[in-house]
Chain A
């Protein structure tokens, strides 16, 4: 276990949120907040990925084919016969 110092206002907000969420403790609440943050980042990156694909004018299948070619290139470099 580790202890972190928080400003009083933030501590109060976390405690209120913990009660609202009926979480057993702040650690459980923080875990949920971290998961929500990661999900948000993932959705943002997903949007970036789709925008990148659209910009390239290639279909997802073509994108995967390109990726496979790169995989072959890596195999030849890393595992030569």
Chain B
């Protein structure tokens, strides 16, 4: 597994699809990861581009800013500003440009990526992640 550990907390960069999957299936593995994060066992990070993606997806479905904020408050994610990860965009290996911010952030933090997209090389296995924090 590629999640890095800091003061016994495991760090991972989280992708949009995992966030949506948690809302879609609140008793599934993705939601379980967020529960562990709320308990302080996992540290979650994501680029601000992922936050923007969620804001636009919900905004186009007619949700107000306040409603979107309420959704976003469900998860203890540290949103990282693009000024921080942009400098490593050129070092990323993923071919698809929209996925580069996720990989760039994982390079900066030196941790794995939790995503349903299989093309990330430093992808974290969700079962292993959950198992590790259960120990």
Contacts and interface: CB of A to CB of B under 8 A. Distances in A.
Interface of A: 35, 38-39, 41-43, 45-46, 48-50, 52-53, 56, 60, 63-64, 66-68, 70-76, 78-79
Nearest to B117: A68
Interface of B is mostly: helix
Given A45-B70, A74-B49, A79-B89, A68 B23 contact: no
Counting chain B CB atoms within 10 Å of each CB, which of A63, A68, A71, A75 scores highest? A71
Interface stretch (B5-13, B50-58, B105-113, B126-134): B50-58
Contact of A71 (B38, B49, B60): B49
Interface of B: 16-17, 20, 22-24, 26, 31, 34-35, 38-39, 49, 52-53, 56-57, 60-61, 63, 70-71, 73-74, 82, 86, 89, 97-101
Nearest to A52: B61
